[in-house]
Structure 1
């Protein structure tokens, strides 16, 4: 697509945005993959439509406000990227555009407060734990209606807090040394995911380092347009993670995806080169385990398990086969595929808060598709997906258990 975007006007992010715009040939292959197009049926709520809108804004022919509703409704699931025959790097456009537009889009007072509260709690586990406990008050009707979707995601009772050693030694012969990102919401909503991950790794001869100064991956800030906060989190992790490890592992799809974009977050800064090298060391735990290989056969589990592709694992990191191969390594486990697996469950970071009606519809559809498989358990690799899927399964009255891939593999350790 030809454009007249004055890239220099938009600083370091101008060129990536312009390249993404120019790569689009308007073929429309992205429409079938886009969840919001499925929901709303409007051209402006497709990747192709949004690219045109953002192009018009960047060229100065449209106001930010005119494009805002449609840009806000984008999940950022990146299902459009694998569907695109032209290889449009949509991620290089949507998040930088939101960062550019952050100070120019008009939002109501309640929405601004809600976004501020989310930004000041979710990335900080101890604050988030307090906020989650206060969520019970919200369920009693003492919070604004606009906040209810966020509060509904909070569990009835939080699991006990857990902590992890700075160094978790390999059991038996040491095969590798890695560092692990703990995640933010995950530490509060389901800390057992980290415990399971560490157990699976150490039982397979892998030493696991937990950097004490690590922080939020910055994904929430980056995907909602808060570039300054995203850069702060990125720099903190660049400094926190050691160089003497084979890989930096993540067990949350959204975190891994965000860390893979540190080169874009820090583009044009003194840390850009370091961020570029750093992102190539980031790896989902399932990829690492399948690359190294399991040391011992897993024990038999007679179980029907449906696998849900987290968008920021399958689309953003192109990780689809490895989690499935891990699950297939469990003798007796029947792995089931979900209809329309490419469609987002509606979690997408803060999307439940920002677009509750669309998020709820997508969550309900995903839950129904999972139930239709006849599975005993649904397995995925992202805490946001787990929370969303569990909520909508419960609403329908299903008792299908929701587990992280590492939790199920841990349960199958001999």
Structure 2
């Protein structure tokens, strides 16, 4: 796509990157065919091709309006379009660049600012978030419906973690909301890894991956969290930790992007590249291990929801399904498995109506095979889908751990 950046846009730190991405788009429109918001709304500007055009206009110096901001806000950042695109357009990075320019130019209404700031002040802080969840459970009946749906229905308490020392060591990101919403997930992962001779080294200094801040108009704060995590992990990396494991695919997708996002930071570029190279979704670790040592012979009927951050961002579509099938679980067929469930980080709170429509469509597809349980690989998807009060939704590693002899 022919592009001429304005003088102001040319001075942006990522100007060359934005121009290169824009020029790679041939405007074919294949992306719209798999865009969840375009399918719901039928508006060209609510599909990837239209949003790319809007960002192009902004970077060429045209007027920026609240309508521009609204169309960019409606994007789920699911990256389905990247999987579909025949030209390899790096859409999510262009969107990040465009959103930062638009958000700097268009003040948000007070209600939106309060919501976004409230999310930034609570979600990335595990202890505070856990306390709020506990309080919410006590006063659940008094809460409005949308907040009730965000509280876990049947969160399993965390089982004890193994205390054995293993020669092989991995680090694990505990996450922000997962300890409060699904406290057994990481414990289950640690117990399964221990059975395979892999120890999990806790790094309590590591905190939020940075994605929440980065995607809520605070990109600098998100990158600072990335730097903090790199500092926390680095001593263990130097001592030979073989991987940084994530059980939440949303966190994993962002950590795998550290190297790109910090490439221009001379103090962190090399370390960030190393951290991104060591980042592994849990399934990437387990699939390379001798799973027969687990002794699992499961036959449960299960539907798997593959999060967008796993299949489109990390390109691991089919990996969990293959592992569960190998272990004996009976996986149902899920139509339109490439489509987003509508969770998308904080999207379910900032765009609740669109999010609910996508959730209900996804649940209809997942339940069509009459599974006993739905499993997924990301805490956001898990809570969002389970909040509908229909078929129970859990992290897949909890089913595997529960099936251990």
What TM-score results when the alignment is normalised by the length of structure 2? 0.92
Deviation at 1:135, TM superposition (A): 4.0
In structure 2, the residue matched to 1:280 is: 277
Question: Would you say the 8 A contact 2:69–2:103 is kept in 1?
Answer: no
Q: Give 2:208's match in structure 1, choosing from 213, 216, 227.
A: 216
Q: Does 1:353 align with 2:354?
A: no
Q: Give 1:230's match in structure 2, choosing from 219, 222, 225.
A: 222
In structure 2, the residue matched to 1:201 is: 193
Q: Does 1:375 align with 2:391?
A: no
User: Could you give the per-residue CA deviations for residues 220-263 of structure 1, whole angstroms, max 9, x where no partner exists?
Assistant: 11222311211111001111112121111111010001111113
Deviation at 1:353, TM superposition (A): 0.9
In structure 1, the residue matched to 2:323 is: 326
**What aligned pairs does 1:22-101 form with structure 2 within 5 A after superposition?**
22-101=23-102
Identify which range, 368-377 or 60-69, moves more after superposition: 60-69
Question: Would you say the 8 A contact 1:250–1:283 is kept in 2?
Answer: yes
Q: Which runs of 5+ in 2 are unaligned?
A: none
Q: Give the match's secondary structure for 1:12.
A: coil
**What aligned pairs does 1:238-277 form with structure 2 within 5 A after superposition?**
238-241=230-233, 242-243=236-237, 244-270=240-266, 271-277=268-274
**Counterparts of 1:169 and 1:232 in 2: how far apart (Å)?**
33
Identify which range, 382-391 or 293-302, moves more after superposition: 293-302
Q: Give the match's secondary structure for 1:327.
A: helix
**Counterparts of 1:131 and 1:353 in 2: how far apart (Å)?**
16
Q: Give 2:305's match in structure 1, choosing from 299, 305, 308.
A: 308
CA-atom RMSD in angstroms = 2.2
Question: Would you say the 8 A contact 2:155–2:183 is kept in 1?
Answer: no
What TM-score results when the alignment is normalised by the length of structure 1? 0.90
**Counterparts of 1:161 and 1:188 in 2: how far apart (Å)?**
10
**What aligned pairs does 1:85-124 form with structure 2 within 5 A after superposition?**
85-124=86-125
User: Could you give the per-residue CA deviations for residues 88-136 of structure 1, whole angstroms, max 9, x where no partner exists?
Assistant: 1112111232233333222221221111111011111111123334546
Q: Give the match's secondary structure for 1:179.
A: strand
**What aligned pairs does 1:121-132 form with structure 2 within 5 A after superposition?**
121-132=122-133
Identify which range, 27-36 or 61-70, moves more after superposition: 61-70
Aligned residues: 398
The 3 A distance-change label for structure 1 pair 10 and 383 is farther
In structure 1, the residue matched to 2:399 is: 408
Identify which range, 260-269 or 122-131, moves more after superposition: 260-269
Identify which range, 256-265 or 148-157, moves more after superposition: 148-157
Q: Give 1:389's match in structure 2, choosing from 382, 385, 388.
A: 385
Deviation at 1:164, TM superposition (A): 5.9
Q: Give 1:140's match in structure 2, choosing from 129, 139, 142.
A: 142
**Counterparts of 1:27 and 1:365 in 2: how far apart (Å)?**
27
Identify which range, 297-306 or 23-32, moves more after superposition: 297-306
**Counterparts of 1:163 and 1:110 in 2: how far apart (Å)?**
42
Question: Would you say the 8 A contact 2:120–2:216 is kept in 1?
Answer: no
Q: Give the match's secondary structure for 2:330.
A: strand
Q: Which runs of 5+ in 1 are unaligned?
A: none
